[in-house]
C-alpha cells in the first residue's frame, strides 16, 4: 500500500492529539469494502476511531485543512457502495 505524504502528515497530527487511528493494511482493507457487489477493495488512507466529540472536531478540522475527504463508516453493511472511500481519506 502506497502512502502519500499528506496522509502521513494527517496521521501524525491525529496521533499527536490522542486520536486512535491506523494505517495498518488489514484495517484499511476492512474499511475499504462493504456488502455491495463491487468486488474491488478501495482502501482509505487512514482509519480513525474517535472516542469523544473533541476527537471528531479534531478529525474534521485536520481533514479540512489538509483537503482529505471523510467517509463515514459504520458496520460495513451497505449494499450500494456509498461508504467506499473512492477518493481515499478517512472513514
Q: Which of 21-30, 56-65, 82-91 has the lowest mean pLDDT?
A: 82-91
How far apart are the C-alpha atoms of 66 and 71, rounded to whole Å? 15
Most confident of 3-12, 39-48, 79-88: 3-12
- The C-alpha cell that represents 79 in the structure block: 449494499
| pLDDT of amino acid 22 | 95
User: Which DSSP string corresponds to 12-73?
Assistant: HHHHHTT-EEE--HHHHHHTT--SSS--S----S-EEE--SHHHHHHHHHHHHHTT--B---
| pLDDT of amino acid 56 | 95
pLDDT tens digits, residue range 39-80?
Answer: 678 888 999 999 999 999 999 999 999 999 888 877 666 666
Amino acid at each position: 500500500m502506497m502512502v502519500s505524504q499528506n496522509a502521513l502528515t494527517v496521521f501524525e497530527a491525529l496521533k499527536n492529539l490522542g486520536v486512535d487511528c491506523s494505517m495498518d493494511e488489514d484495517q484499511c482493507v476492512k474499511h475499504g469494502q462493504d456488502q455491495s457487489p463491487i468486488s474491488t477493495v478501495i482502501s482509505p488512507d487512514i482509519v480513525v476511531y474517535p472516542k469523544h466529540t473533541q476527537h471528531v472536531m479534531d478529525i474534521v478540522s485536520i481533514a479540512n485543512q489538509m483537503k482529505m475527504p471523510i467517509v463515514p463508516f459504520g458496520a460495513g453493511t451497505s449494499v450500494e457502495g456509498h461508504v467506499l472511500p473512492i477518493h481515499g481519506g478517512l472513514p
